Amino acid sequence: MKEQLLQKFNEIFGAGGDIRVYFAPGRVNLIGEHTDYNGGHVFPCALTIGTYAAVRKNTDKTLRFYSMNFEHLGVITSFVEGLTKKKEDDWANYPKGVIWALQQKGYIIEQGMDVVYFGNIPNASGLSSSASLEVLTGYILKELFHFELYMIELALISQYAENKFIGVNCGIMDQFAVAMGKKDHAIFLDTSNLACEYAPIKLDNAKIIIACSNKKRGLGDSRYNERRSECEEALKELQTVIAVKALGDLSEEEFEAHKSAIGDPVRIKRAKHAVYENRRTIQAVKALKAGNIAEFGQLMNASHISLRDDYEVTGIELDTLAETAWQQKGVMGSRMTGAGFGGCTVSIVENEYTREFIKAVGKTYEEKIGYKADFYVVDIGNGPGRL
């Protein structure tokens, strides 16, 4: 990949100078969905697929971005000063947003750069191609301009860029998982205070399989922000009867005792998912540490059902993938992952059944939905770095 990237860089921007190549992973969340902006726990891991970049500083203040994934858009040009989101800049708004966010936090960027990006994460799949691109750009700037930045700070700056520049009110999980990834480990993160621990993923006789629905979605124009505001409203209503900072602070029992304070049945369902999903995540990590993969898988299934019925973010594509997966031999658990409204499912499947699983789920999906799903048998990788 490095050689292809350098070849493309030389073709677009010319050879010579100090050209560097970097990588940042995508991520998949094993359990704990739509809990990160509700002060709950999440359990993501970084993947060995992700985003690559070849970069060279230039002598002026021009930013030149080129993506091998969107070659038809050509070189997108901007300037270090006065950065604003522009519709015509398309995907390049993400790296622009990170540069803007660093400037907002007081980091001085006096030179421009030429960058060629390539991602092997399926676009709009829910595997955090945007967070991967953001963290990668932040890591490049940290290296090129010698910024003293911890990886947690880099995750927070990337989230700030997505919230304030892109306009998607996302939580911290995606950027955190990308920045803090560790090979063969998932990250048990308490989003209320960013306390985290690495939990080894020991799947001795099983694989993680991601099924991409190929239904395109964009977070900014999806109902993501709507779900977040519904939860915020429900929290305000609960705070009139119980002292609580976030939905993630509540136990199931406390929620059931006070849910009548929420004045709308839809908001009750949204808040119920946030509370119960958080508890499921805590329980799932305990099960994994105890080597109980079967219980972990059952909690994954319960997570999908809650996302389908209470949070209503799945849709026919993701439901077909998960529900068909549950019927297959060797499947320990399967659920949608990511924001929903398209994207992917994640399944844990015993080694001997992986081919059969892909064939059977793929066949049913195509028959029912009318187009193919793509399947990826993935490994858990590290966070960003220079190649």
Q: What digits encode the pLDDT tens for the residues 56-76?
A: 999 999 999 999 999 999 999
Residue 207 lies in a domain: no
Query: What is the predicted pLDDT for the residue at 121?
Result: 87
- The predicted model gives 322-333 an average pLDDT of 98
- The predicted model gives 2-30 an average pLDDT of 96
Rounded to 10 degrees, the C-alpha dihedral 150/153/158/163 comes to 180
Residue 77 lies in a domain: yes
Place of tokens 């292809």: 4
Cβ-contact 9, 368 below 8 angstroms: no
Residue 296 lies in a domain: no
Q: What digits encode the pLDDT tens for the residues 335-346?
A: 999 888 888 999
Residue 150 lies in a domain: yes
Q: Which of 213, 208, 225, 251 is nearest to 31 (CA)?
A: 208
CA distance 132 to 53: 11
How would residue 123 be classed by pLDDT, with cut points 50, 70 and 90?
low
Q: What digits encode the pLDDT tens for the residues 182-194?
A: 999 999 999 999 9
Which residue numbers are catalytic?
174
Residue 103 lies in a domain: yes
The total domain count for the chain is: 1
Query: What is the predicted pLDDT for the residue at 220?
Result: 44
Residue 323 lies in a domain: no
Instruction: Identify the CATH number of the domain in which residue 51 sits.
Output: 3.30.230.10
219 pLDDT more than 70: no
62-67 vs 113-119, strand pairing mode? parallel
CA distance 18 to 29: 36
Query: What is the predicted pLDDT for the residue at 124?
Result: 64
Higher pLDDT, 167 or 255: 255
CA distance 121 to 128: 8
Output the average pLDDT for the chain. Answer: 94
Query: What is the predicted pLDDT for the residue at 28?
Result: 93
How would residue 3 be classed by pLDDT, with cut points 50, 70 and 90?
very high
pTM of the model: 0.90
Other CB atoms within 10 Å distance of the CB of residue 163: 16
| CA 148 from centroid of its chain's CA atoms | 25
Q: What is the DSSP string of 138-192?
A: HHHHHHHTT----HHHHHHHHHHIIIIII-----SHHHHHHHT-BTTEEEEEETT
Cβ-contact 102, 147 below 8 angstroms: yes
Going 70 to 71 to 73 to 74, the CA torsion angle's sign is positive
322 pLDDT more than 60: yes
What are all long-range contacts of 260-265, with beta carbons under 8 Å and residues at least 24 apart?
261/237, 262/234, 262/237, 262/238, 263/237
Helices (H), the chain: 2-13, 93-104, 129-144, 151-160, 173-179, 224-238, 252-258, 265-289, 293-309, 315-326, 354-369
350 forms beta bridges with: 206
120 pLDDT more than 60: yes
Q: What digits encode the pLDDT tens for the residues 31-58?
A: 999 999 999 999 999 999 999 999 999 9
In terms of Cβ atoms closer than 10 Å to its own Cβ (0-12, 13-18, 19+), residue 360 is: middle
Query: What is the predicted pLDDT for the residue at 202?
Result: 82
- Residue range of the domain that includes 70: 2-33+41-200
Residue 351 lies in a domain: no
Query: What is the predicted pLDDT for the residue at 315?
Result: 92
258 pLDDT more than 90: yes
Q: What is the DSSP string of 313-334?
A: --HHHHHHHHHHHHTSTTEEEE
- The predicted model gives 134-141 an average pLDDT of 98
Q: What digits encode the pLDDT tens for the residues 195-209?
A: 999 998 888 889 999
Q: Which two tokens stand for residue 266?
A: 């839809």
Cβ-contact 307, 313 below 8 angstroms: yes
- Residue 196 — φ and ψ, nearest 5°? -145, 155
Q: Which of 337, 341, 279 is nearest to 38 (CA)?
A: 279
Residue 20 lies in a domain: yes
